[in-house]
Chains A and B, each alone.
Chain A
Amino acid sequence: MAELDDVIHQPLRLRIMAALNALPPGAGLEFARLKKLTGATDGNLGAHIETLSKAGYVAVGKAFVGKKPQTTVTASAAGRGAFARHVATLQEIIAASGQKP
């Protein structure tokens, strides 16, 4: 059985990756929307996005919308691959126990 991805497995990082993977490839989520969807605080979300970014799983883009700075987070191809493998491993664990995923 494949190993779980330690970077993704942390609960908040799993939620971040799940949210970004629900979008089509190349599409991203603004920081504020991601915060609302995951229920995280500013500092917590920022720290976990940085961990995912260092692993190459997400790309962080910063731009100005009018005079407001806006941060957008997008899952990279490597991140999508890692997430798919992580989900497959979770399903394998459940299947091995005889439960339905």
Chain B
Amino acid sequence: MIDSREASEALSDINDIAERVRQSTIYNLASLTMILWGVLVFAGNLGTFGWPRYAGYVWLAVYATGIAGSSIFSALDYHRTGVRSFGYRMLIALLLFIGFGMFTSWLGHFGPRQLGTFWTIYFMLVYTMVGLWFGVAFVVIGVGVTVLTLIGYFFIGAWFVPWMALVNGGGLILGGLWMRRN
């Protein structure tokens, strides 16, 4: 028989592993979703830069593809692990989040530059907040992309949109790949 100190260490070990499994499951799905959104945002920004008149349609396609893709990844992940990470509540939350962003954009009469900045920082705010519960990787990505976005807004002139393709799209892709390594 073991003493209470050894029993306490064993329980602590069990809790530590359970937490790691939970974090690893979340990171696995989140990293795939981030890479998907990174590619879409990269394409969306390049589309906006090349064909500014059709920017509205481009971003509509980006969001529709992103939500559909995230749902598919979640369904595949659920089939594999039995853990539902992107259920109907998450879908409703995402739609409410996007709806509020659209309302704010309309209310604020944002120009294209402000729109690009607002939507990126708005999404990164969620990443940062999520990171407070689910791991430091989200916080690093959220804060890093926000800082680079603000640098672009204030200091990068006519090349702001391609800058955002690199910073936001590239940042999400790199962040997703980094999470897969961890």
Contact = CB atoms under 8 A, between A and B. Distances in A.
Contact of B82 (A4, A26, A96): A26
B132 interface: no
Contacts of B14: 14-15, 18, 87
Q: Number of contact residues on A: which range applies?
A: 20 to 34
7 contacts: A22-B17, A23-B21, A23-B83, A26-B82, A29-B21, A33-B24, A93-B1
B24 to A, nearest CB: 6
Contacts, number: 69
Q: Which 6 A-B pairs have the closest CB atoms?
A: A97-B4, A27-B82, A24-B82, A22-B21, A22-B18, A93-B7
B17 A27 contact: no
Given A15-B17, A18-B17, A19-B17, A93 B82 contact: no
B11 interface: yes
Given A33-B24, A37-B20, A93-B4, A23 B11 contact: no
A19 B10 contact: no
Contacts of A97: 3-4
A99 B4 CA distance: 8
Interface string B43-60: 000000000000000000
Interface residues on B, range: 20 to 34
Interface of A: 3-4, 9, 11, 14-15, 18-19, 21-27, 29, 33, 36-38, 87, 90-91, 93-94, 96-97, 99, 101
Contacts of B1: 3-4, 93
B17 A90 contact: no
Q: Is the interface of A mostly helix, strand, loop or mixed?
A: helix
B64 interface: no
B19 to A, nearest CB: 8
B82 A94 contact: no
Interface string B89-109: 000000000000000000000
A37 B28 CA distance: 13
A18 B8 contact: no
B128 to A, nearest CB: 26
Interface in B61-110: 80-83
A22 B7 CA distance: 19
A18 to B, nearest CB: 4
Contacts of A26: 82
A96 B18 CA distance: 25
B82 A11 contact: no
A19 B23 CA distance: 12
B2 interface: yes
